[in-house]
């Protein structure tokens, strides 16, 4: 029985797992849920994840949700190439980067992304700009870290890069929307504001298998 991934187009969390699967060279069966049709709230899917959220991975009878947990599972089961480092220090730094992504970039990014994508609260410009400033601070920090290194932690691509990348892409996509124009988010063009992040994004986009992970409705 193959690995089976339940995902949705444009979910940064599902995107993480797709990148992981590509980098591990794992074949998988893909089940695309249509959020607009409510596939993720259908009884069949709620049996796999009562929270009705993607991604969900099925590996034979084993079912798992939460993107970072799925990444940890895949790395432990399919060891090569290691995506959580090899030493305790690397593992610690990778998990720190992932936890800081969740605590800061995801948290603040969400307050920019949601209004722009869904049009709710777009008039609360002050709130959005405050969140955008926090996002810029995080990207500035990451840009500094990437100034002397190819990847976020260590000499190889790791789960730290993979869990950050789809969020960066999603924030940038939001920043490029017409609805974002009046908000002055100061995130684009990326190459001007955060040159090292920009190079790092291109590096990931050039990875074999990347194209297969790109959200179909973004094309």
- Report whether the peptide linkage leading into residue 81 is cis, meaning its omega lies within 30 degrees of zero: yes
Sign of CA dihedral 192, 128, 106, 113: negative
The angle at the Cα of 104, spanning 101 to 109, to the nearest 5 degrees, equals 95
CB of 143 to a copy of itself, least distance (A): 15
Q: 66 pairs with which residues across the strands?
A: none
What separation in angstroms does the CA of 92 have from each of 85, 95, 192, 198?
Answer: 9, 5, 31, 25
CB of 178 to a copy of itself, least distance (A): 31
Using CB under 8 A as the binding rule, whether residue 99 contacts a copy of itself is answered as yes
Using CB under 8 A as the binding rule, whether residue 100 contacts a copy of itself is answered as yes
Annotate each residue in 46-85 with x if it binds a copy of itself (CB under 8 A) or - if it does not, as one string. Answer: ----------------x-xxx-xxx-xxx-xx--------
Using CB under 8 A as the binding rule, whether residue 89 contacts a copy of itself is answered as yes
Q: Going edge to edge, which strands form the sheet with 56-59?
A: 28-33, 3-8, 56-59, 62-65
C-beta of residue 146 within 8 angstroms of C-beta of residue 196? yes
Q: Which of 112, 97, 113 is nearest to 146 (CA)?
A: 97
**Please, which residue, 68 or 190, has the CB nearer to a copy of itself?**
68
Using CB under 8 A as the binding rule, whether residue 117 contacts a copy of itself is answered as no
**Please, which residue, 44 or 76, has the CB nearer to a copy of itself?**
76
Pick one of 21, 98, 187, 197: the residue that binds a copy of itself (CB under 8 A). Answer: 98
**Please, which residue, 153 or 171, has the CB nearer to a copy of itself?**
153
Per CB under 8 A, residues contacting a copy of itself are 62, 64-66, 68-70, 72-74, 76-77, 87-89, 91-96, 98-100, 102-103
């Amino acid at each position: 029985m193959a690995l089976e991934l339940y995902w949705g187009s444009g979910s940064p969390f599902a995107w993480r797992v797709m990148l992981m699967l590509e980098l591990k060279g794992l074949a998988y069966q893909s089940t695309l849920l249509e959020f607009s049709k409510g596939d993720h709230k259908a009884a069949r899917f709620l049996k796999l994840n009562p929270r009705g959220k993607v991604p969900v991975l099925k590996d034979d009878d084993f079912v798992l949700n939460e993107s970072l947990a799925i990444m940890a599972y895949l790395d432990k089961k399919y060891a090569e190439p290691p995506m959580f480092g090899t030493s305790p220090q690397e593992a610690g730094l990778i998990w720190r980067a992932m936890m800081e992504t969740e605590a800061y970039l995801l948290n603040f990014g969400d307050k920019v992304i949601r209004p722009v994508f869904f049009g709710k609260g777009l008039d609360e410009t002050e709130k959005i700009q405050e969140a955008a400033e926090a996002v810029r601070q995080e990207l500035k920090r990451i840009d500094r870290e990437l100034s002397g290194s190819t990847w976020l932690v260590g000499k190889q691509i790791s789960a730290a890069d993979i869990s950050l990348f789809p969020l960066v892409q999603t924030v940038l996509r939001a920043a490029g929307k017409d609805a974002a124009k009046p908000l002055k988010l100061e995130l684009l063009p990326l190459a001007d504001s955060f040159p090292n992040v920009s190079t790092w994004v291109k590096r990931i986009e050039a990875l074999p298998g990347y194209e297969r992970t790109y959200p179909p409705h973004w094309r």
